[in-house]
Amino acid sequence: MMRCTIILWRCSSAHLKIEGYDKTKTANFGKEKTARRRACDEGTVKLRQKIEREIRGRGPIPFSRYMELCLYDPELGYYSCHADQFGKAGDFYTSSDVHAVFGRLMARQFDEMWRALGCPQSVTVKELGPGRGLFAQDVLDWSERKFPDFFRALRYVLVESSAALRLRIEHTLKRHFESNKAVFFPDDDPGTTPTIIFANEFFDALPVEIVSSRGSLRLGFQEIRLQEKDPHVGRFLETWVPVSAEELEFLDRYSVHPEEGERIEVSLAAQQLAESAVRDIDHGFFIAIDYGFTREEQLARRHRGTLKAIRQHSISANPYEAPGEQDITADVNFTALAAQLEKLGWRVQRLVTQSQFLMGIGEANQFADAFEECRLPQERAKVALQLKHLVTPAGMGESFHVLVASKGVEQDNVSALSGLSFGRRAT
């Protein structure tokens, strides 16, 4: 995932010195993971102290800066220290943790997009926030097996700044790194190759500003000592300053103004990252899958105040409880994200649910991508349950939405994409 200086740090991260695959890193994978886990256990208090020192040095900080430090500090942040906490046994899981069919269906959709682009000799799939590399593994393995023409043209670029997660990715994608089919960003592409940007549960983890009827949130620190001999203790203290012009414009255009007692997230970082990710692309697609909302839903008094902390699959409204030990997310404002893409010349399609998107891709062959390797009835039953979790309202199907945009592609070719077909018939 990305640090805050946000987009610029992540998307111009040449100083990370990652130019290819280093076999010695994978050899030390287990040892480094254990050492990192021990260091992180010791670092929870240190991160809190680091935040306190910054507040003392510069005064109250924006909430976005606090969220950045909690998630993306290179030594003590959540995504640096808790690479082993993803998945069903950890704090949260994504669609790729449910079953390989998610990546297989997306491989099928990427193949369609490559054909919609005219079957170029080279095409880039650039994944933002690839986590442990499970999705990339499923896409690459299935494309190699089922879509050989697309696979020959494909180069898979992973945009990840966390050293711990890069180590996991290198281990997961060892074969594809060795063949140079998978590379870390920045790669040597001059920017002219047709590109598919893919972001699954990525934009929800970017730092946000928090505004209320009292202003824009700032975080200070208050020391508490009952007696002079008592050890240093303290707490974070919320204060408010006037809303900035940039925050005010965001509320006017894409969101709503908070009423008394409400808090609204302003996702300026997501706007900056979207611009950075697509601005040099002349031909390609953009796909974002996440939980989120539109401005119309906020006007209907829904999705107001969506910030939450997640730990061991439990949701908390307190982001200050365990800095660096819990994930912090906010629902994605799809109205703002779509408007940013349109401003940069991209054609945005109507928002669909994950259920509609995956059903559209899978119905043509009755989800054979999911069941192909099943040999016993029990295996088919298990996969059917996993697939149900991906596509039904009771699972992830209706809570996640899919935003698709294109640039330099014939609209008829875009409209023919199977992922968009089911949603059109459902309206």
Q: What is the DSSP string of 295-323?
A: HHHHHTT-S-S--EEEETTEEES-TTSST
pLDDT digits (tens, 9 = 90+) for 293-340: 999 999 999 999 999 999 877 899 999 988 999 999 999 999 999 999
What residue segments make up the domains of the chain, in order of their start? 6-213+243-426
User: How many helices (H) does the chain have, and how many strands (E)?
Assistant: 20, 18
10 Å Cβ neighbour count for 98?
A: 18
Is 234:224 a contact under the CB 8 Å cutoff?
yes
Is 241:215 a contact under the CB 8 Å cutoff?
yes
Tell me the mean pLDDT in the region 227-242: 76
Residue 2: burial class (beta carbons within 10 Å; 0-12, 13-18, 19+):
buried
Lowest average pLDDT, out of 30-34, 103-107, 109-113, 160-164, goes to 30-34
- Tell the residue number behind the tokens 């620190």, with chain if given: 221
pLDDT value of position 397: 59
Residue 6 pLDDT level (bands cut at 50, 70, 90): very low
Tell me the mean pLDDT in the region 187-191: 72
Per cent of the chain over pLDDT 70 is 80
CATH number corresponding to 6-213+243-426: 3.40.50.12710
pLDDT value of position 88: 47
> Looking at the predicted structure, is the pLDDT value of residue 34 above 80?
no
Coil/strand/helix, residue 107? helix
Query: Among 242, 254, 192, which Cα is nearest to 217's?
Result: 242
> Looking at the predicted structure, is the pLDDT value of residue 21 above 50?
no
Question: What tokens appear for 246 in the block?
Answer: 């940039």
Whole-angstrom distance, CA of residue 412 vs CA of residue 395? 32
Tell me the mean pLDDT in the region 336-361: 95
* DSSP annotation of 363: G
Residue 23 pLDDT level (bands cut at 50, 70, 90): very low
Distance from the Cα of residue 187 to its chain's centroid: 20
Q: Which residues contact 413 (CB under 8 A, 6 or more apart)?
A: 116
Is 295:255 a contact under the CB 8 Å cutoff?
yes
pLDDT digits (tens, 9 = 90+) for 64-78: 999 999 999 998 999
Q: Output the DSSP codes for 5-39.
A: SHHHHHHT-GGG---S--HHHHHTHHHHHHHHHHH
Tell me the mean pLDDT in the region 225-247: 79
Whole-angstrom distance, CA of residue 114 vs CA of residue 109? 9
Alpha-carbon separation of residue 38 from 33, 77, 84, 131, 327 (angstroms): 9, 14, 12, 21, 19
Q: Which residues contact 362 (CB under 8 A, 6 or more apart)?
A: 101, 105, 369, 370
For residue 174, the one-letter residue type is K
Is 401:352 a contact under the CB 8 Å cutoff?
yes
pLDDT value of position 370: 77
pLDDT value of position 233: 60
Per cent of the chain over pLDDT 90 is 63
Tell me the mean pLDDT in the region 44-49: 86
> Looking at the predicted structure, is the pLDDT value of residue 103 above 80?
yes
Question: What tokens appear for 10 in the block?
Answer: 């992540």
For residue 130, the one-letter residue type is P
